[in-house]
């Protein structure tokens, strides 16, 4: 490149050694013209815009939530409300009815238990039945009579599986001067040394026997239901005879503990026993039982006058003989 003069204002370019004239015209833009074009573009943009119409919404303040503490005031009870209809009160109604029903049922059960416990004294109901031959129960021996089971407080000295074992123990106890009754039931043999009307007297008499080294146990014993052939007088004898037996048995225990008897009781029993004399009894076992009662009443009457233990022992032996024969009917 050749040196250029300071005032030439041109640039000389040689291509392949030859000078070439090149002049670049520089475009000078007018800034005002650019401003106008920008303004025009802005106006078009404003004309093309869409005016959106939005509903005016007032800003609502947020709701204020307050914490509520439910505290029941002391001394005030919450009242039940049944305004909700049947569904509300049936929730309480059905459990209430069920509780009442259970209470009534338990009441009847307890009543029956108490009633059964109070019937410790024998109450024999003889139910007369007409025999298959059509005979009535007015004194004829062919009638069947049912004797219901009953319970008695007893003082038991042992129970055995065989009669031989029971006899051996019976002899051992009687050798100590204590009468023994042997009662069989359910293929077992029971030895009783005391029979009365209440367990308190039975227990007291048991303490006295322990002094003679006799092991005893107080309990309620039930005599099984029976059905026998008997006339009207014989059935009446069993009913009245058992009542006399229980009174005398209780009085004999009291006499053993207190060394005396209630003379008014003996007088009353003697009167009841005299009513048996007019009865027509043909059954041999019942005849023997009647004799046992007569002997027991006589011995207790003698004891009330003499207070001799021998008379009291005889009375208890006669009573035990009576109950053993009754058990074998």
How many alpha carbons lie under 13 Å from residue 83 in its C-beta half-sphere?
3
For domain 141-327, the question of CATH label 3.40.50.300 is answered with no
Q: What is the pLDDT of residue 186?
A: 86
Q: What is the pLDDT of residue 138?
A: 42
The packing angle between helices 284-306 and 309-327, to 10°, is 160
Contact 315, 248 (CB under 8 A): yes
| CA 265 to the chain's CA centroid | 42
Q: What is the pLDDT of residue 132?
A: 39
DSSP E strands in the chain: the ranges are 12-15, 18-21, 126-129, 144-147, 150-160, 181-185, 188-195, 217-223, 226-229
Query: What does pTM read for this prediction?
Result: 0.58
Low-confidence residues in the chain, pLDDT < 70: 1-92, 112-142
Question: Is the backbone of residue 9 left (phi > 0), alpha (psi -120 to 50) or beta?
Answer: left
Return all residues near 156 (Cβ < 8 A) that are at least 6 apart.
Answer: 190, 191, 192, 193, 216, 217, 218, 219, 221
Return all residues near 217 (Cβ < 8 A) that are at least 6 apart.
Answer: 155, 156, 157, 206
Beta 150-160 vs 18-21: how paired, if at all? unpaired
Beta 217-223 vs 188-195: how paired, if at all? unpaired
Q: What is the pLDDT of residue 109?
A: 79
pLDDT tens, residue by residue, 147-194: 888 789 999 999 999 999 999 999 999 999 999 999 998 899 999 999
Give, rounded to a whole angstrom, the gap between the first and last alpha carbons of the chain.
168
Spatial separation of the C-alpha atoms in residues 205 and 217, rounded to whole Å: 11
Instruction: Tell me the domain boundaries of the chain.
Output: 141-327
Q: What is the pLDDT of residue 51?
A: 55
Which residue's entry shows tokens 């009847």? 108
Q: What is the pLDDT of residue 137?
A: 40
Beta 226-229 vs 144-147: how paired, if at all? antiparallel
């Amino acid at each position: 490149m050749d040196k250029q003069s300071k005032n030439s204002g041109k640039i000389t370019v040689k291509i392949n050694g030859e000078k070439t004239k090149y002049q670049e015209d520089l475009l000078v833009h007018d800034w005002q013209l650019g401003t106008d074009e920008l303004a025009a573009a802005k106006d078009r943009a404003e004309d093309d815009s869409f005016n959106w119409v939005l509903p005016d919404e007032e800003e609502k303040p947020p709701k204020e939530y307050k914490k509520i503490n439910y505290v029941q005031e002391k001394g005030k009870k919450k009242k039940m409300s049944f305004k909700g209809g049947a569904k509300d009160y049936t929730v309480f109604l059905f459990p209430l009815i069920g509780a009442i029903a259970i209470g009534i049922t338990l009441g009847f059960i307890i009543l029956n238990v108490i009633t059964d416990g109070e019937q410790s004294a024998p109450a024999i109901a003889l139910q007369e039945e007409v025999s298959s031959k059509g005979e009535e129960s007015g004194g004829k021996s062919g009638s069947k009579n049912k004797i219901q089971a009953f319970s008695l407080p007893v003082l038991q000295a042992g129970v055995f599986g065989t009669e031989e074992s029971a006899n051996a123990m019976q002899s051992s106890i009687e050798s100590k001067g204590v009468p023994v009754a042997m009662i069989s039931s359910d293929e077992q043999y029971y030895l009783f040394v005391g029979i009365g009307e209440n367990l308190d007297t039975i227990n007291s008499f048991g303490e006295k026997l322990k002094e003679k080294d006799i092991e005893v146990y107080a309990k309620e014993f039930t005599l099984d239901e029976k059905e026998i052939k008997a006339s009207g007088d014989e059935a009446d004898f069993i009913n009245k005879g058992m009542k006399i037996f229980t009174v005398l048995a209780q009085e004999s225990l009291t006499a053993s503990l207190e060394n005396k008897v209630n003379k008014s009781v003996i007088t009353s029993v003697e009167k009841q026993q005299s009513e048996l004399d007019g009865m027509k009894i043909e059954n041999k076992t019942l005849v023997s039982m009647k004799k046992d009662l007569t002997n027991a009443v006589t011995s207790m009457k003698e004891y009330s006058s003499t207070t001799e233990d021998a008379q009291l022992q005889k009375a208890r032996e006669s009573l035990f003989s009576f109950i053993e024969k009754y058990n074998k009917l």
